[in-house]
Structure 1
Amino acid sequence: MRSKKFAFTLVSVILIFSVIASACGSNNSGGSGEGTTEFRMNIGSEPPTLDPALVQDNVSSTVVNGLFEGLTRKDAQGNTIPGVAEKWEVSEDGLTYTFHLRDSKWSNGDAVTAGDFEFAWKRALDPALKPEPSTYAYQLYYIKGAEEFNTGKGSVDDVAVKALDEKTLEVTLKSPTPYFESLVSFYTYYPVHQSVKDNEAWAADASTIISNGPFKMGDWQKNSSISIVKNENYYATDEIKFTKVTFSEVLDSATELSMYETDQLDWAGKPVGSIPVDQLETLKETHKDELKIEPSANIYYYLFNTTVEPFNNEKIRKALSMAINRKDIVEKVTKEGQVPAYGLVPPGIHIGDEEYRSVVNGDYFKEDVEEAKKLLAEGLQELGLSEMPTIKLAYNTNDAHKAIAEAIADMWLNNLGVQTTIENQEWGVFLDNRTALNFEVARAGWGADYNDPMTFIDLFTSKSGNNNTGYANPEYDALIEKAYSTADQKVRLEAMSAAEKMLMEDMPIAPIYYYTNVYMVKPGFKNITMDYKGDIDYTRGYYEAPAE
């Protein structure tokens, strides 16, 4: 029998070793340190869906981008590189793409075929898709016959995507599209296993999600956490070093930071988490090697529901937008180095070889309280209203969104005498309400799906499933169609810049600021990247113990 002295000594040694290990940052996979194979981050809330055809938000896409892969994917620099397609050819007229698929498998061992892509794309376009139509179907309108099928004016047989054989996919476009190779890396273009046709709820159950990406579903604790695990059937499985990625679902930024500092998270902050604003200055000193603040091609804005009074009046929308002090918002509220926005397209977006904002002035309006008061009075008179009714402002639950909403409500009250009630909503409910136009004013954010101004500008066409404003302007739509119809970058630039100017004159949205990416990552985690648009790629990440 061991003596009490020996037992006490052993416990003491264990405790001392634990403290040393903690101090050295052995933080992952239950404190495994070197050889770490798990990556842990926060996504803030439950993903509304894990069906690529239905995804429309960063929470869902952060998970889905690990589970699925398209014909192409992006490298760490944002360049388009082969994905499931190992090569492709483009016809001389720029209309026909022929993709040749590599040998790859689904997580259940079935071969990934060209027919799976044809099935997935036509499924996303199906106006009768269950449980609901795809809001992103318009991203497939580049394909000949796609818009007609999605809008009920054509047949699925006329959609010009065809599996020539199991490894060859032919796609014919309506017009030359210089960024189509980039587009097919986007989640709406991901394949889905054809077994989903028999199960509308397949994406809501971990056991029925069959994926083709670097990871497959692991454990799903609804409204708590999701884990995805390495997919041994992935064609490049040797490149995947993490055996597990765990996503926590924590709304409160202070809790997220606490989890990071107590070794429960390896990554905190953007793209879908957040870091408390009041802690940033301290963190710049205490975690200077871990805290990153970088520009991002994303915009934060407010939506006006243009289908309801008084927001159906352009002058009232302009008055509310002009009464917001954006400099105060970014310097006194958000404090993350954001840039006030007076247009739609953020810096960092290119058209051809040029940055769009370097050739197109992005200041389409200015803040002017006196002019805002005048416009408000004129707008109310046009509607026959004696005073502005109390505004209902909605945001998805998040302390940063709340702080911005409170600040803007104060500005509307102090500058215009307008009362505002603010309401927070759970993420999935909030998205449903926005899509159904069940709001008056609501917060929104948009990031690039590909590096071209069109990814922002076509958002507000009458055909866009993500146009949550009710705005419909035939002249605006015509400019977008003109830009769609040509590969001539000069013509495209003229059409898109004219459309952006028109949008800012009609003001269905109030731009607030262009985002920055603010995040923290633990020492030792390598090759986890944030691209120009703020999307995280953890698929090729790995852990390497820092030098002592």
Structure 2
Amino acid sequence: MKKAAVLAALALVTAACGGGGTQAPAGGPVAGGTFTYALSADPGVLDPATGVLGATNLVLSVAYDTLVASTEDGAIVPGLAEKWEVKPDSVTFTLRKDVTCSDGSKLTPADVAQNVNHIADPATKSPIYGVLLPVGMKAVADDAAGTVTLSTPKPFSFILQSAESLFIVCGKGVKDRASIARATSGTGPYVLKSAAPGDSYTFEVRKDYAWGPNGATSKGLPDKVVLKVVPNEQTAANLLLAGSINGATFYGADRTRLEAAPGIGKMLPSAGQHQFFYHQGEDRPTKDPAVRKALTQAVNLKELGGIATAGTGRPATGMVAEPRPCKGDSVAGHVPAFDAAASAAGLDAAGWKAGPDGIRVKDGKRLSLRYLYVTTRGAGIQAAAEYLAATWKKLGVEIKLNGVLDTKLAESLNATQDWDVAWLPIGVTLPSQLVGFLSGPAAPKGANFAHLANERYTKLVEEATLKPGEEGCKLWLEAESALFENGDLVPVADTTVLVATKNATFSLILGLFDPTTIRLTQG
């Protein structure tokens, strides 16, 4: 799978990405029982080395632990590692000594190292390499000392944070990756007992689990977790209201009725960012920065954001989902302001003059743009496409709307390159995960699907990567701002989703279950 396909998967199918929020009402705790959650799509192959879909990683989070974990406010806390030492180009983890795999074997530093090196091996062709795992990272284990060291060829500012995205396979799954296509072999509090692709995945609790974040154990957890595939949100809402399931995530129209329903617990986590990209290939009108600026000035982004999110979003503040490792607003003051008159004047100055039918023409070529978006992310995205088309038509631009299914987005975005403007929601957790898509070799040879060549962005990223902490964060935020100032892409809104619950409580962090927080409650 090419990286552009990975980006499309991460962008479009990422589950709720931020921290939690108010989750009420809830009665007293119920011992044992079965917790059931609706998945919007089948997770597919369950090997963590291939996990790019939000549904896949949500399933994996029930059965696999990571070296470190994060709290809802983004703080890093111990996971499988009890402590760590960070250097600019390496991090050494000391593992807990009491951790066992679901098959009873002891977790070793060699197991952890094999996970990293397996993903980094070119023969594996792991789609998360270079996205969730930094390029060039390798791992060395010291079983006698109980440590494993992850290193990169040069300093990497998020070398510690990258470990919170790596599910650790252990036991038999380390030696036989094929065995975990429809099974699990991890250290998490649950183990997969049955898989019915397209229908449901049933997990049983591990009674011996005692090494969760902040000392969490399996005490009080439901005996079973069932992750049920329910692609239709209306069906999921009906099941939730009837008490047939305990939770689900909602993006579309059913969100409104559930928010008003009695007896439903509600969380409104961040779900990534909405933005649109301009294609800057040699033969594209949007290669000209004056055209990009004019098109952006023609749009009332506040109105557009309200339409795209059905009024549930927030003004865009960056490209990384909450909780962000780099706090701050990279958007404000860096995007051309709404000014219809300046927009028209800008296109005139760039040589695009209105033709007999009102469509602008330059050198005999009509200003015609093909707008790419997905049709399966709610009515708001369709409405946003129609809003942009109407806005740019008034400006004298011919717009051809091209709505595609999620599964076709990567092909259209990267392989066929049949677009000029693309609406692409993004749900990544580190700014470094976007670098390969926003710079470097252009598609189809590379992952840079929009053919961006922003020298200031590239320079700032190179500097930011080498610097830790706040010093590096300042540069990462400036790098994002450089993209907006150049009109490479236009941030529209930070989105939220509704995570609705009934007779249960739990936490989602970075779009994944903290499975040690799942509790059934009295109705």
1:168 aligns with 2:147: yes
In structure 2, relative to structure 1, the CA distance for the partners of 1:535 and 1:104 (3 Å cut) is: closer
Distance 1:493 1:26 in 2: 39
SS of 2:46's partner is coil
Root-mean-square deviation (Å): 3.8
Deviations 1:169-224 (A, max 9, x none): 1234556666543321113x63466756655x555x414x4233222223333333
Q: How does 1:517-536 map to 2 (within 5 A)?
A: 517-522=497-502, 524-526=503-505, 528-531=506-509, 533=510, 535-536=512-513
In structure 2, relative to structure 1, the CA distance for the partners of 1:341 and 1:320 (3 Å cut) is: farther
TM, length-normalised to structure 2: 0.77
In structure 2, relative to structure 1, the CA distance for the partners of 1:77 and 1:508 (3 Å cut) is: closer
* 1:86 and 1:102 in contact (8 A); partners too: no
* 2:438 and 2:452 in contact (8 A); partners too: yes
Match of 1:82 among 69, 78, 82: 78
1:140 aligns with 2:136: no
1:212 aligns with 2:187: yes
Aligned position for 1:300: 274
Match of 1:419 among 390, 395, 399: 399
* 2:294 and 2:342 in contact (8 A); partners too: yes
Aligned position for 1:56: 52
Match of 2:370 among 372, 391, 413: 391
Distance 1:422 1:298 in 2: 23
Q: How far is the alpha carbon of 1:413 from its aligned partner?
A: 3.4
* 1:405 and 1:422 in contact (8 A); partners too: no
More displaced stretch, 254-263 vs 216-225: 216-225
More displaced stretch, 233-242 vs 36-45: 233-242
Q: How does 1:14-93 map to 2 (within 5 A)?
A: 34-35=30-31, 37-47=33-43, 49-75=45-71, 77-90=73-86
Aligned position for 2:204: 229
Counterpart amino acid of residue 397 in structure 1: T
More displaced stretch, 242-251 vs 454-463: 454-463
Counterpart amino acid of residue 316 in structure 2: A
Q: How far is the alpha carbon of 1:483 from its aligned partner?
A: 0.9
Q: How far is the alpha carbon of 1:541 from its aligned partner?
A: 1.0
Aligned position for 2:465: 484
Q: How far is the alpha carbon of 1:245 from its aligned partner?
A: 2.5
Deviations 1:399-441 (A, max 9, x none): 243343344334333454422223231x444346546465524
In structure 2, relative to structure 1, the CA distance for the partners of 1:529 and 1:383 (3 Å cut) is: farther
Deviations 1:128-174 (A, max 9, x none): 32xx4424425433xxxx53xxxxxxxxxxx5521111632123455
In structure 2, relative to structure 1, the CA distance for the partners of 1:297 and 1:430 (3 Å cut) is: closer
SS of 1:47's partner is coil
Aligned position for 2:235: 255
Q: How far is the alpha carbon of 1:485 from its aligned partner?
A: 1.1
* 1:300 and 1:446 in contact (8 A); partners too: yes
1:495 aligns with 2:475: yes
More displaced stretch, 231-240 vs 41-50: 231-240
Counterpart amino acid of residue 529 in structure 1: S
Percent of aligned positions that are identical: 20
Q: How far is the alpha carbon of 1:470 from its aligned partner?
A: 3.6
Q: How does 1:435-450 map to 2 (within 5 A)?
A: 436=415, 438-440=417-419, 441-449=421-429
In structure 2, relative to structure 1, the CA distance for the partners of 1:322 and 1:545 (3 Å cut) is: same
1:183 aligns with 2:154: no
Q: How far is the alpha carbon of 1:376 from its aligned partner?
A: 5.0
Aligned position for 1:104: 99
Distance 1:434 1:192 in 2: 36
Q: How far is the alpha carbon of 1:513 from its aligned partner?
A: 0.5
In structure 2, relative to structure 1, the CA distance for the partners of 1:59 and 1:346 (3 Å cut) is: closer
Aligned position for 1:20: none
Aligned position for 2:517: 540
Distance 1:540 1:507 in 2: 43
Distance 1:262 1:414 in 2: 48
Q: How far is the alpha carbon of 1:543 from its aligned partner?
A: 1.2
Deviations 1:355-383 (A, max 9, x none): 322x9845432233334445556386998
More displaced stretch, 56-65 vs 403-412: 403-412
Structure 1 unaligned regions, length at least 5 = 1-24, 28-32, 148-158
In structure 2, relative to structure 1, the CA distance for the partners of 1:536 and 1:78 (3 Å cut) is: farther
State which structure, 1 or 2, has the greater radius of gyration over its C-alpha atoms. Answer: 1
In structure 2, relative to structure 1, the CA distance for the partners of 1:160 and 1:482 (3 Å cut) is: same
Deviations 1:219-263 (A, max 9, x none): 333333333332456454534612333333333332322222222
In structure 2, relative to structure 1, the CA distance for the partners of 1:74 and 1:194 (3 Å cut) is: same
Distance 2:168 2:283 in 1: 40
SS of 2:49's partner is coil
In structure 2, relative to structure 1, the CA distance for the partners of 1:87 and 1:379 (3 Å cut) is: farther
TM, length-normalised to structure 1: 0.74
Using CA pairs under 8 Å that are at least 6 residues apart, name the structure with larger relative contact order, 1 or 2. 2
Counterpart amino acid of residue 211 in structure 1: G
* 2:32 and 2:223 in contact (8 A); partners too: no
* 1:344 and 1:457 in contact (8 A); partners too: no
